[in-house]
Structure 1
């Protein structure tokens, strides 16, 4: 291969190497190929076209994929030495491996005939034999071809041959392989065997980009038909949580999720999922197999929704893909779209059967339709998270509607949306004086924010003059309108505040603003023109820690505002004041927010934001039921607006309140809802939401589901080059390690924790080091890996001492016990130091706990008499500390030590006095020990 390339091509090679295949390699490769062609560099062209074939596969660009692969394979066959099977730059590509993907692309396209598939299979087998490769991959592709073509009579033999072929370097991974075999079982009407394969794949703990979730999705309907509802629910949630790396993989799973939602009666969940995933149709055009699964699953769901009496509900298609692909007219409702999608499904099934010369796919589609009569009620955790009928809002039509939209976008921080909507309102015209001034001011304020954000500054004075043209014109138009209306008081207020009032970093002095208010008031300016300054002064007082003055001024500003406010403005004033009072912990916060919620003329977004603020206030007061109700209502309202980030935030608040109330299952459902709401917004990083979902799954005792979620978070952090030692990186490591430990994968848990622990040590992040070190050291100790446990606990002791005035008794105890368990009597000194520190501060429970540890340490050193004495002392200490469970444990340990020494009578003498007629469950362990020793009641 050539080693000398043009500098621009070298730069592109570097960029391609660090760009994920699914996220932008294809256009970079296209540019690089043009440069290589101009330079006449055939070696680089070969490398780049190999990479293009691979990247286009992941990006579902079938035409580019096939063209690039065919070109590269032809070059390789013509000169295998110059154009090798494997290229390593700018990305690693193995043409033999890629051949599997190419065949999969061909077989999933109904326009590719049986003859072409057969010739491609033969070409693949010829390549593998020529290169001396194993034949597992060709055997897999033969099985896949029979599945795609509906050749059911051949499946048994081909599946057996594939399973019997030895695995080799070109075999699919061990978690991908079961899916092909399970598909064969399903086609052979043996769902129980397919389910067994899915269960085994999940139990293996292995994962890859799309599996085992792809297989689990295929098993949802068979599980529901078999009545295995708990397993079906688990698989459904695992698939829903999955971060799919490509549209076609997500589309395949989504079709099954939609079908399962229909069958189980989770119509709200299914409808929401459908509207969020319709956009995948735009990128997955030639994958007819997965389109068929998606469209038929959607049609099945829509039939159920229509049956529920909602046939007229418009289906939200945010990217217009249905009309663009002539699937359904723009704005189609549920009934119309259901009919259209069944028609397209019929067309695809017929095309597949025509190329295969059988009726397999029409039979499959008939079975899919028949699911319309299957009812398997199962709550998939969505019923209370969103209403079924969230109306799809039409675009505003009147100037007033556009102004309301502008205010809405401004309230949620959507600068671009606010400016565009305000501009549209002004363009349409016909606004009243107040409304026109409001629209002009909204546009001016939005442009001001936009130019500062674009320049990366927080002051208009720092924005280049050339970038201020639009803002200057907007300001002049706003001022001219105020003059035309004779609102000279407003102009005087604006002039008094100066242009810096729109600086993102504006932090005015509160006392100055108060003096300015008095000055303007004495000059005859009315209170309703001054309320904005008063409220800004209140904010400044709050930032300065002068809470009482802030509250008084905020309440005064509200009084002045409400005196002249229009009904539709009241909620905004109440919300602003209520949020500030809530921040200050003022008792009037609840009244202000409740008034905002109860205002009948409030815009939906204001109503929702007030509910969200009220929910947060209830949560701070420990009023979980009220907070949960308010948060749920906020989510309901926000679900109908194009505000995914805000809606997700409200759902995350809902999840937090549910968790605080002890409803862990509900918390997980709300956390999943937050992800559903956030994901449609392009560019919105959902890692934090996924991390919270993973954490909640661990806390809820569902570590298996948590592992899959947290691995996706870990991958996302890696792809965005998250710095080592960031809160998200540490949090992901802690909870992923915890989930792995809880599923019994101690080795991987230790690896995850130890890597993060090493980062914390190197960075001096003592708090994180203590948190991770405690878990990691205990994990090593649980498996008797004494040397590693000591390494971790000693480092953790140093970190704790750095945080705690040089003392770390908790880790003195850990180090001391581990040393003794490893046979080092010097550990007793560490234990004594820990006990002395605990006694010095009156930590009675710690003294009891660590005295018990000392007993176990002494026994490890074969000092049984001292161990018995220490254990009896610990028992007394636990009793004094009010811990009967600890008392029973320590007493039982002493008796066990005596019994193991053959001193049965002495052991029973300890047990009999406390085991009279009591049925206390705490004594169950002691009763069992006495029975074992042959004692009597």
Structure 2
């Protein structure tokens, strides 16, 4: 028993330091079960008080109601043994009372009388406990507002504002958010925006704030013409809300925003991501109604944009039948919109019958009214596929041509799909070719048994086509000519080639190209090339241009395999200049040349080839191959430094992968990285967070997740979300540490420390940097990382006037000299000057800064040189030595010639120094620089 009590204490301590979420819920459930097992109601009370709070934060309404009722009964029976406040830092019993009426109101299963009884019971408990009535008024205001009794709600709001705040009042964040929502709904949108901006400026936050408040003013921002603020508010709100199903209302507001602002593809993706949340909390029906209206509005906009026939993934889940009714097959956007409106109306009517008002009907009408509004606020996280659908072939012969083109490119998946449509051709020669394609693909997919069963049909087709010699050959060799890679197959091909002189030219070519392919698979490129040349001559003799071209591609592969890039490039150029290439062969050659050019740093030319390959593949309907082709094009544009073009290609990749299946996380990782490079950091952060979530679910290795978390942190930093960035860098460091990636762990800790130092959290920053320096020293090959960590730690010590700064900066300088890193040497010399200034050693500081300026200038970084000189000049001016500062300011102005902002600052300060020296005419002349 004692062991059980000890375990209970450990559980409670762990619960109180674990963030809300599944892990915390599991701990709470374990604590409740353990207390019941022990048979101690006091311990059970402690556990269930926490369970009530946990269930409220995680959207488990039924658990919350039951847990609260149990606790309230014990408190009323024995308030000494079961006090209202356990003083553990969480909500006390009287605070939890505020959640109860709200929870009952959220489901029409509870009557108005039951809700009123809870509110009256709450007020009675507050009065009996001598508590202020702010919390009670808040609950009554929420009840009147949610029921649609807006006049009563306004009266209570005014009364609430006049009531002194107390320990059971809403916090600053929640109170402002609530009133902002009420103002927005009652056409006082400017007041709503003011309240939310006050909340943000004050840094107020809470469990679901500021994300809820931000979502409430999205439409008011749009109507006020403040589109940039609306976009930022949406991205922040959605990023904070998207991972907790209890935030369904917040997400609904954000989906409406996406649909209103021309981001229909994003709205559809959000509907697909969150539609399953309808089944999360069966008692949160009010949120279901809001979400269904948002889904309906968004899907109407998707339909209006011309995509009403797009399937909505996840909508056909059996768990959603209660909302949308029975349906055969996938729901399409247009029909799901109608079903969502109907469900929202049905639920709203149930609430209005209970409340005796038309509150929910009015709310639904407001959402419908938005159909007349539109705002242009581009967000590039999602897009409908811009790939034109290939026209379906009209008959078996046309399907035969399509299958041939797909096979010539190497699109195995799409070729297999096309083959059944083509098998209706009448020409036995074509049937033989189709069977040959299928056999080759089956072997490539390691489905040898299926291939063996199909081989007799191929032989029969050859005989029907009058190709008896080829039929005899394949009957003798089995699957050897279709790519099966065994010693017996290779030996059989060698024997057949030795006796091939009497065979028709086409058969000789077939043997040679089959052997060439096996040589390639066995890492024998020279032998493969020899065989390809034999095959090419045979196919030319046979007059088969198609297979002659196929052989050329095999020869190119052999050249590349052997490392002969120059020869392969020349052959590719000649090959693509031919006018007898099929679309499939041309697309394959373009894709190969794109990779070759990328490997030779000719990124723009390679990207152009990849783009053309994409165009050709789109015409063939090769969707799986097309996703890979767009991925290649995006990577090449990214390497070429054109992040915008990379974003466009990666976005198509992401959509195709979502449709066809594949590595969605990998595609979105690349898209997010390109968006970050393109400066769209807020959307990049959202995508990186989604990728990280998928990687967590898939159990991806820690180091890979760490890379995603690190880029998420960088995106958050660029978006100004510094608090979240600190957490993300910390998580990345933890993950890197799990896989002993010491250098990367040190980098993550250093970036975290930089943010902490920016907000004057110097002790924590230094602690992180000290840990990072110890890790970096364990990775001696990562010289750049070690130098960066030591440099930052030296600067941090310098800011604290700690002498250890100098030895660290000296070590960085030594590393720079050892590795001929001239810019780094200049930079650390500049840092040394600034640290010397912290110690009041002015002359040494100026000398170091000027030495750094000369070093920066020597490596061509004139802007940095001007910055060092500006620091030296300021230091002299601040020490009442304007005469010494003047020539340094002038030099800084010269170095700042290409940087207007730096030049302006230098000119202004030089003018001030000249004025101090009484040189007024010169000062006026210098200030004239600002106008030129």
TM over 0.5: yes
State which of 364, 374, 377 in structure 2 corresponds to 1:376: 374
Aligned partner of 1:804 in structure 2 is 816
Aligned-partner Cα distance in 2 for 1:894–1:104: 65
| 1:235 correspondence with 2:233 | yes
Matches of 1:7 and 1:573, distance apart in 2: 70
How many angstroms does 1:875 deviate by? 1.9
Shift of 1:197: 0.8
| 1:604 partnered with 2:623 | yes
Residue of structure 2 in register with 1:763 after alignment: 775
- Alpha-carbon separation, structure 1, partners of 2:416 and 2:219: 49
Asked if the contact 1:790/1:815 (under 8 Å) is kept, the reply is no
Q: Tell me the residue number matched to 2:313.
A: 316
SS of the residue 1:378 aligns to: coil
Equivalent residue, structure 2, for 1:292: 289
Residues 135-192 of structure 1: CA deviation (Å, up to 9, x unaligned): 5433322222222222323223422343444545554432222122223334544333
Is 1:832 aligned to 2:847, yes or no? yes
Q: Which residue does 2:598 correspond to in 1?
A: 582
Classify 1:128/1:226 alpha carbon distance in 2 versus 1 (closer, same or farther; 3 Å): same
Residue 393 of structure 2: aligned partner = none
CA offset digits 1:807-844 (Å, max 9, x no partner): 9554444444454466x23x423543554576579738
> CA 1:639–1:221 in structure 2 vs 1: closer, same or farther (change >3 Å)?
same
Question: How far apart are residue 229 of structure 1 and its match?
Answer: 3.7
- Partner residue of 2:279 out of 277, 282, 305: 282
Partner of 2:499: none
Q: Do the aligned partners of 2:212 and 2:237 also contact (CA within 8 Å) in 1?
A: yes
Is the CA contact (8 Å cut-off) linking 1:817 and 1:857 kept in structure 2?
no
Q: Does 1:196 align with 2:194?
A: yes
Q: Distance in 1 between matches of 2:46 and 2:552?
A: 67
Against the structure 1 CA distance between its residues 713 and 805, is the aligned structure 2 distance closer, same or farther, given a 3 Å change threshold?
Answer: same
Contact 1:871 1:890 in 2 (8 A): no
- Residue of structure 2 equivalent to 1:159: 157
**Helix, strand or coil for the counterpart of 1:175?**
helix
The 8 Å contact of residues 540 and 550 in structure 1, kept in 2 or not, is answered as: no
Match of 2:257 in 1: 260
Distance of 1:586 and 1:840 partners within structure 2: 33
Residue aligning to 2:875 = 857
What is the alpha-carbon root mean square deviation over aligned residues? 5.7
Contact preservation (8 Å) 1:29, 1:48: yes
Q: 1:513 aligns with which of 486, 500, 524?
A: 524
- Indicate whether 1:683 and 2:697 are aligned: yes
Does the 8 Å contact 2:637/2:645 carry over to 1?
Answer: yes
Equivalent-residue separation in structure 1 for 2:188 and 2:904 (angstroms)? 54
Structure 1 residues 30 and 586: alpha-carbon distance in aligned structure 2, compared to 1, 3 A threshold = same
Distance in 2, matches of 1:773 and 1:166, equals: 53
Equivalent position of 1:224 in the other structure:
222
Assess if the C-alpha contact under 8 Å between 2:746 and 2:773 holds in 1. no
Question: How do residues 722-871 of structure 1 correspond to structure 2 at under 5 angstroms?
Answer: 747=759, 756-764=768-776, 767=784, 787-788=799-800, 794=806, 797-798=809-810, 800-801=812-813, 803-805=815-817, 810-817=827-834, 819-820=836-837, 824-825=840-841, 827-833=842-848, 835-836=850-851, 843=858, 845=862, 850-862=868-880, 864=881, 867-871=882-886
Please say if residues 875 and 888 of structure 1, whose CA atoms lie closer than 8 Å, have aligned partners that are also in contact: no
SS in 2 for 1:150: coil
CA 1:196/1:708 → structure 2, altered by over 3 Å: closer, same or farther?
farther
What SS class does the counterpart of residue 620 from structure 2 fall into? coil
Shift of 1:569: 8.4
1:244 maps to: 242
Alignment TM-score, normalising by the size of structure 2: 0.71
Q: Please name the residue that 1:655 is paired with.
A: 675
- SS of residue matched to 1:109: coil
Q: Distance in 2 between matches of 1:884 and 1:246?
A: 46
1:185–1:193 contact (8 Å) kept in structure 2: yes
Q: In the alignment, what sits opposite 2:610?
A: 593
Shift of residue 894 of structure 1? 5.1
Change in 2 beyond 3 A, CA 1:734/1:301: farther
Closer/same/farther in 2, CA of residues 124 and 169 from structure 1, 3 Å limit: same
> What do residues 471-502 of structure 1 show as CA deviations (whole Å, max 9, x unaligned)?
xxx7766677779972135576334899xxxx
- Paired with 1:245 and 1:495, the residues of 2 have a C-alpha distance of 54
Whether the 8 Å CA contact 1:241–1:709 is kept in 2: the answer is no
Query: What 5-or-longer segments of structure 1 have no aligned partner?
Result: 392-399, 445-473, 499-507, 924-937
Alignment of 1:95-110 (within 5 A): 95-110=93-108
Paired position in structure 2 for 1:487: 479
Which residue matches 1:471?
none
Count of equivalent residues: 829
> Structure 1 residue 114: deviation in Å?
1.8
Distance change (3 Å), C-alpha of 1:738 and 1:27: closer
Distance 1:890 1:378, change over 3 A: closer
**Structure 2 match to 1:339:** 338
Where in structure 2 are the equivalents of 1:614-653 lying within 5 Å?
614-622=633-641, 630-631=649-650, 633-634=652-653, 637-638=656-657, 640-643=659-662, 644-649=664-669, 651-652=671-672
Give the unaligned 5+ runs of structure 2.
390-398, 425-430, 459-477, 491-518, 540-546, 778-782, 819-823
Question: 2:22 maps to what in 1?
Answer: 23
Alignment CA distance shift 1:371-1:573 (3 Å) = same
- Could you say which residue in structure 2 is the equivalent of 1:75? 74
Contact conserved, 1:267 with 1:388, CA < 8 A, in 2? no
In the alignment, the residues of structure 2 paired with residue 770 and residue 65 of structure 1 have an alpha-carbon distance, to the nearest angstrom, of 53
SS of 2:312 mapped into structure 1: coil
2-structure distance, mates of 1:412, 1:280: 38
- What are the within-5 Å matches in structure 2 for residues 689-708 of structure 1? 692=711, 695=714, 703-704=719-720, 706-707=721-722
| C-alpha contact 1:146 1:152 (8 A) present in aligned 2 | yes
Query: How does the TM-score come out when normalised to structure 1?
Result: 0.71
CA apart distance, 1:747: 3.3
- Residues of 2 paired with 1:605 and 1:335: CA distance? 26
Structure 1 equivalent of residue 497 of structure 2: none
CA distance in 1 between partners of 2:34 and 2:444 (Å): 48
